[in-house]
Amino acid sequence: MRFDLKVPFAEKDAAKQLGARWDAANKLWYVEGKADMTPFAKWNPTPRDGSAAPAPSRPASKSSAASPSAGIVQVGSRYRELPRVCACLPWEVCEACHATALSA
């Protein structure tokens, strides 16, 4: 059985020395066919059979769709341009747009 690991980048060499392998397609470390999983306990091993698709890294939240300006940068097809408050340049902060500016 395969066990997926949550190995921080700083500890990748230690995991590799213990026998963990890197899965480039899913971008995670895993262990397969090990009887003793105690050396990998600090990286929280989770079992996964080969037929199951990898779980999404973060579930979609309906609250983020309702509030587009929740402090999350939207890119790609989810990008929505917010209406302009005034006619000043984006990097300048005037009195009209001071409340909506990212930095003062």
**Could you tell me the strand order of the sheet in which 46-48 lies?**
21-23, 28-32, 2-5, 46-48
- What's the pTM value of the predicted model, to 2 decimals? 0.45
Residues 6+ apart with CB under 8 A from 15: 5, 7, 29, 40, 43
pLDDT by 10s per residue, the chain, length 104: 888 899 999 999 999 999 999 999 988 899 988 888 888 888 887 777 655 555 555 555 555 455 555 566 777 777 777 777 777 877 777 887 777 766 55
What are the extents of the domains in the chain?
2-48
Of 76, 73, 78, nearest to 102 by C-alpha is 73
pLDDT given at position 67: 54
Question: What's the token pair of residue 62?
Answer: 């309906």
